């Protein structure tokens, strides 16, 4: 079975939240839509709720499934499931990322994204939500 990862795509108007991976993490300095690996018996939605508390200290609301991306990581094929979501508070803590910010969707091509996230960038640019 393919390993699954979930990502949250937070939108506010024409802006989306992106996070820069730590220089100490795999894919250092790459931008991403935040999320993480699903744990055993965990749904993608449960994973995102857990990861957003761990990574940013924020509760979230999942709106709906958005898209998926299939990618290779360390020789393993993985599936990234993207969900549109909302942060339920404004104060975030960067617990594992070097930077996090809201950017206009049209400006996403100016950021160096992890390859797994590029299909989401392309879909946001061409189709929106």
Residue 50: give the domain boundaries.
3-127
Average pLDDT over residues 30-55: 96
Q: What is the pLDDT of residues 71-128, one digit of tens each?
A: 987 888 999 999 999 999 989 999 999 999 999 999 999 999 999 999 999 999 999 8
Answer yes or no: are the C-beta atoms of 6 and 36 closer than 8 Å. yes
Task: Give residue 1's pLDDT.
Answer: 66
State how many domains the chain has: 1
Q: What is the pLDDT of residues 1-42, one digit of tens each?
A: 688 999 999 999 999 999 999 999 888 999 999 999 999 999
Residue 44 Cα distances to 18, 48, 126, angstroms = 19, 6, 25
Task: Give residue 118's pLDDT.
Answer: 96
State the CATH number of the domain containing residue 75: 3.90.79.10
């Amino acid at each position: 079975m393919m390993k699954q990862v979930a990502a949250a795509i937070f939108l506010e108007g024409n802006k989306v939240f992106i996070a820069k991976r730590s220089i100490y993490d795999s894919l250092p300095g790459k931008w991403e839509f935040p999320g993480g690996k699903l744990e055993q018996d965990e749904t993608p939605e449960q994973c995102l709720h857990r990861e957003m508390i761990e990574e940013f200290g924020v509760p979230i609301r999942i709106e709906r499934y958005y898209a998926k991306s299939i990618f290779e990581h360390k020789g393993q094929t993985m599936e990234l499931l993207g969900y549109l979501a909302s942060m339920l508070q404004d104060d975030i803590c960067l617990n594992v990322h070097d930077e996090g910010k809201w950017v206009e969707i049209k400006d996403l091509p100016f950021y160096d994204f992890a390859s797994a996230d590029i299909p989401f960038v392309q879909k946001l640019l061409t189709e929106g939500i």
